[in-house]
Amino acid sequence: MIGFEGSGVRGFRLQTPEPPNPRTPEPPNPRTPEPSNPRTPEPFNPRTLQPLTMILQAKKITKYFHDPETVEVLKQVDFAVNEGEFLSIIGKSGCGKSTLLYILSTMDTDYAGELDIKGNRLNGWSQNQLARFRNENLGFVFQFHFLLPEFTALRNVMMPALKLGKYSYAEIEQRAMDKLRMVEMETFSHKMASKLSGGQQQRVAIARALVNDPAIIMGDEPTGNLDKVNSQRVFEIFQNLAKENHQTIITVTHDQDFAAGSDRIIEMSDGQIIAG
């Protein structure tokens, strides 16, 4: 406020505000930002671009035969299979590959080591528990089709589902027809199994293996009794199942062309894995 000289008014001066303190602003903290955690990317299936999920793991599988002498036929076998993988196991006759498949199928429990399928440690399960597990989760295709000759193709495919008892009869019949359609055998559904050709019988056997929607299809020389044309047809069915349905397939085979088309090959010799 301004004061006036010679007046009775008490004067006072106009106070000029002090300028702000010209402090130099503090420089920002030159901390180097912490690097983000470099996570390793998950492996992906190159066919489906889906993350890989382990579905089967064998740990130190060892097997002896005792007739007449004790022979070690499998020696500390270790490997794993991912969901949706098409795997072929090859090797000379007597190398142990079919013995290994029989153990993986849970039908042989006389071995040392550990077997995990779908997160289940199967060691120590009773035969009834294993039978139920097989029927729900595993499908089998053998060198010989093992169809019941007195039944139709449709009835043969229905058999595992009827045994499982999970669906109504009408549902089982529809599921069986769907599986026959997948292997291009629906037009032969009411033909007796004994009247089918060898290639047709094997395709029906594949449909039968699929009827309960198993997690894994296991094949023991599935093309062993077939000519080249039918062998190629069976291979294409397996390949499409893996590619289109994300079906896990494990086969034992002597067929080099069949094995070459699978996702991965395990080679065995003298009871051990030597490649793959």
Closest C-alpha among 164, 166, 186 to residue 176: 186
Q: Which pLDDT score is estimated for 18? A: 54
Indicate the SS3 state at residue 265. strand
Closest C-alpha among 101, 203, 219, 198 to residue 156: 203
pTM: 0.78
Into which CATH architecture does domain 54-275 fall?
A: 3-Layer(aba) Sandwich (3.40)
Give residue-wise pLDDT tens across range 55-80. 999 999 999 998 889 999 999 999 99
Does the pLDDT of residue 201 top 90, yes or no? yes
Q: How far is 193 from 195, CA to CA, in rounded Å?
A: 5
Q: Which pLDDT score is estimated for 39? A: 43
Report CA torsion sign: 237, 244, 211, 53: positive
Does the pLDDT of residue 6 top 50, yes or no? no
Q: How far is 271 from 246, CA to CA, in rounded Å?
A: 30
Asked if residue 248 lies in contact with residue 263, where contact means CB atoms within 8 angstroms, the answer is no
Asked if residue 122 lies in contact with residue 113, where contact means CB atoms within 8 angstroms, the answer is no
Closest C-alpha among 202, 105, 211, 96 to residue 157: 211
Q: How far is 251 from 101, CA to CA, in rounded Å?
A: 8
Give domain limits for the chain.
54-275
Does the pLDDT of residue 20 top 70, yes or no? no
Give residue-wise pLDDT tens across range 237-257. 999 999 988 999 999 999 999
